[in-house]
Amino acid sequence: MCLTEWIRLRDYVGGRSRKVLGWEIPAWVWETYQVVGVFLFGCACQQLTTDVAKYTIGRLRPHFFDVCRPDIDCSLPSNKWRYIETFTCLGENEKLKKEMRLSFPSGHSSFAAYTMLYFCMYLQKRFTWRGSKLVRHGIQFILIMIAWYTFMTRVSDYKHHWSDVLAGCSIGLLYAIVIFSFVSNLRKTPRSRQLSHEAELRATNGNTRVQV
């Protein structure tokens, strides 16, 4: 985002710059502050929502028995078809023993879904290079594949059930769409208007340099 904003506004001279304590903040720095600030706000919201669900609902992870190694014999007839609430874990890794009850929803899936989808939508609005559309869409495809790979590895590593990954993904996607649509200013500026506005600014800046 910082690189995109710098490329987009590095030659901009105008009203978007701000003064803070007597120092003039360049336009690209101010825009980066706004864009990244909204992005981090949404990131904090989705993470808080995920953590509240984790510590409220929990759910045992698929690798629960391997991590816990409970001191019970599940093969005994008396232990079949009933819930066993009193047991002692023989596993020695205390960190894993604490996390083995926090499967729902998947925090990695939620974070990956939010960050990658939001960045894809951000590039769709702000990546204005006309050299090739495939560059922008290629980057977006890579971002989606990163999120998809994260989803798959949470299941293949036996860290989450598939429903935990689906729930985490849904939380991330929901926050990405809501933050992009209602909190950020990215959706409010049509792409065609933005391109024409930037072209006008560059032409104005060029004329100013010639006159000076």
Which of the residues are catalytic? 108, 160
Tell me if residue 93 falls in helix, strand or coil: coil
Task: Quickly list DSSP for 159-209.
Answer: SS-HHHHHHHHHHHHHHHHHIIIIISSTTTS-HHHHHHHHHHHHHHHHHHH
Rg, Å, the chain Cα set = 24
Interior angle at CA 130, CA 182 and CA 120, nearest 5: 35
Asked if omega into 190 is within 30° of 0 (cis), the reply is no
Count Cβ neighbours within 10 Å for each residue of 105-115 and write b for 16 or more, e otherwise.
Answer: bbbbbbbbbbb
